[in-house]
Amino acid sequence: RRAFARAALARRLSTGAQPPRVLVTGSLGQLGSTMVDALRARFGQANVVASDIRKPAPSQRASGPFVYADVLNRRALEQVIVDYGIDWVVHFSAILSAAGERNPALGLDVNINGFQNVLELARVHGLRVLSPSTIGAFGPTTPKDLTPDLTIMRPNTIYGISKVHMELLGEYYCEKYGVDFRSLRYPGIISADSPPGGGTTDYAIDIFHAALKHNRYTCFLQHDTRLPMAYITDCVAGTMQLLEAPQDALTQRVYNVHACDFSPEELVAEVRRQHSADFAIEYCPDFRQAIADTWPRTMADAPARRDWGWNPTLGTADIVRIMLAKLHPVYE
């Protein structure tokens, strides 16, 4: 199916058909710049409009168009969509789990009203929308191991509640109005080039900076808290695959994706093995422990593999190797 999607796109481009014009909201967040780069490599620099409510660094501006766009301002967002002739929206603007518990009003506003604005504009202007969901959409009563796509979903965080709302509303707009809504439930995403922003899985990035800087780390989750994780390149590759998959390949609109899973103590063991045998760790769980305790440990993702070719390649040891290699020069 992946080969089919690529061939269809190649045909589209070779027959002179225009590549899609894509708007990325929240493009200055953890995933945004890598996703924008991948989209520009595929569809051309000028066809991918990056947007956010912050000022981009000169390097983030250099590779193509950037616009100020607040997802809470529907008219302004609509103007960008009309002015740039947007076909697809990749909607990354969101307040993550820990940040949402710190500021529930902001979490509700951005995650619910921001998404509703995007979806309504997709209905009016016939857009494809890819908006990621998360393992945070599951809750304390969800089965924790090999969690299936369809299961109990009663999250108890603002982030989780707003993402279940997003999934259901996207499916509703798809069925009722034919909006081409697509979503995948991200695990914790690990990246070296862009910092995370207010998540419960952020420890798995912080730990590398601390290891290289101080050779010690105080972890805000308990030693044995196993969570699903993925390296950013696997995440962006999967997001591109789902974005480009032909409509008739999709048997559902929201997909679990699983790449690897580990606990803090397993990550520490790998950092000690690859970096420093005397790397010191202390566990001081805070409010994020209660969030992590409600999330799956591992996810079942056969439909994503079957329908659009989800095929992550990096496991825990690979992620540690890449993170250490990328961050080492920063702390030399």
CA atoms in the 13 A half-sphere facing the CB of 10: 6
Instruction: Tell the smallest beta-carbon distance from residue 201 to ligand AKB (Å).
Output: 4
Cβ closest to ligand AKB, residue 93 vs residue 97: 97
- Active site residue: 159, 173, 203, 231, which one? 159
Instruction: Tell the smallest beta-carbon distance from residue 288 to ligand AKB (Å).
Output: 8
Q: Is 177 a catalytic residue?
A: no
Facing residues of 280 across strands?
216
Rounded Cα gap, residues 171 and 96, in angstroms: 22
Instruction: For residue 313, count CB atoms less than 10 angstroms from its CB and return exposed for 0-12, middle for 13-18, buried for 19 or more.
Output: exposed
Q: Are 219 and 282 in contact (CB under 8 A)?
A: yes
State the sign of the Cα–Cα–Cα–Cα dihedral 143, 149, 154, 160: positive
Q: Are 114 and 51 in contact (CB under 8 A)?
A: no
Instruction: Tell the smallest beta-carbon distance from residue 199 to ligand AKB (Å).
Output: 3
Cβ closest to ligand AKB, residue 40 vs residue 288: 288
Phi, psi (deg, nearest 5) at residue 235: -65, -45
Instruction: Tell the smallest beta-carbon distance from residue 225 to ligand AKB (Å).
Output: 12
Rounded Cα gap, residues 203 and 227, in angstroms: 11
Report which residue type is found at 85: G
Which residue ranges make up the site for ligand AKB (CB under 6 A)? 96-97, 134-136, 159, 186, 188, 199-201
Cβ closest to ligand AKB, residue 97 vs residue 225: 97
Cα–Cα nearest to 296, from 258, 246, 266 = 258
Cβ closest to ligand AKB, residue 228 vs residue 309: 228
Instruction: Tell the smallest beta-carbon distance from residue 173 to ligand AKB (Å).
Output: 22
List the alpha helices (DSSP H) in the chain. Answer: 2-14, 32-43, 58-62, 74-83, 97-102, 104-108, 115-125, 158-177, 203-213, 232-244, 264-274, 287-292, 302-308, 316-331
Instruction: Tell the smallest beta-carbon distance from residue 292 to ligand AKB (Å).
Output: 8
Residue count of the chain: 332
Rounded Cα gap, residues 265 and 5, in angstroms: 40
Cβ closest to ligand AKB, residue 1 vs residue 209: 209
Rounded Cα gap, residues 314 and 78, in angstroms: 38
Instruction: Tell the smallest beta-carbon distance from residue 45 to ligand AKB (Å).
Output: 29
Torsion angle of alpha carbons 27, 32, 35, 40, nearest 10°?
30
Which residue's CB comes closest to ligand AKB?
Answer: 199
* Cα–Cα separations (whole angstroms), residue 74 to 77, 146, 265: 5, 38, 45
Cβ closest to ligand AKB, residue 134 vs residue 256: 134
Active-site annotation, residues: 159
